[in-house]
Copies of this chain bind each other. A is one copy, B any other.
Amino acid sequence: MIRIVIAEDQGLVLGAIAALLALEADFAIVGRAGDGDAALDLVRTLTPDILLTDIEMPGRTGLDCAQILATERARTAVMIVTTFARPGYLARARAAGVRGYLLKDAPVDTLVAAIRTVAAGGRVIPPELAAAAWEAGSDPLTDRERDALRLAEEGLSNKDIARRLGLSPGTVRNYLSEAAGKLGAANRIEAGRTARANGWL
């Protein structure tokens, strides 16, 4: 029996995936979580073979969970199932020792097959995602640039961003200008978009 915990914030999707996997004779859904913290609790108490988790959830993300479980040397293999093919997400997943990375776009057979592969000790990362991640390179932004960009995305002015970060407006301007330069963007909006598309925000 392959013992599985599923974490996913959208109740309908959580229930549906659980129903789908329950159809497989050798799968046992031993727990369900609606956010990252609940997922961690379940994994710690149940030590399932596999944690199947979304990335974007309230509280801790699936990637956060993977990182934490990696430092705890948990015996549970983490598999990510997400909507987003963002290179930065894949990179962080790999760094956190994630054993599978699937898109919600994929047909259902893929998920079932991937779970069996991971349960058998394997690794599943779609080659086209790996290629895109390779092409995108790694996150060029510094922490402060990321901070500034995140606030700029929300429509705050340099002055407001400065206030929030405890900086001078000039410094904020410099950070955003630098970030735009690194990302090949003409302005803060484009910079925010490309950073987000790459999973760097």
Contacts and interface: CB of A to CB of B under 8 A. Distances in A.
Contacts of A105: 9-12
A19 to B, nearest CB: 4
A23 B16 contact: no
**How often does this chain occur in the complex, in copies?**
2
Interface stretch (A72-80, A89-97, A163-171, A185-193): A185-193
A108 interface: yes
A50 interface: no
A127 interface: no
Contact of A190 (B10, B108, B154): B154
Given A10-B83, A155-B193, A108 B15 contact: yes
A17 interface: yes
A59 interface: no
B189 A10 contact: no
A12 B193 contact: no
Given A19-B20, A23-B19, A12 B104 contact: yes
Contacts of A185: 155
Contact of A189 (B13, B16, B83, B153): B153
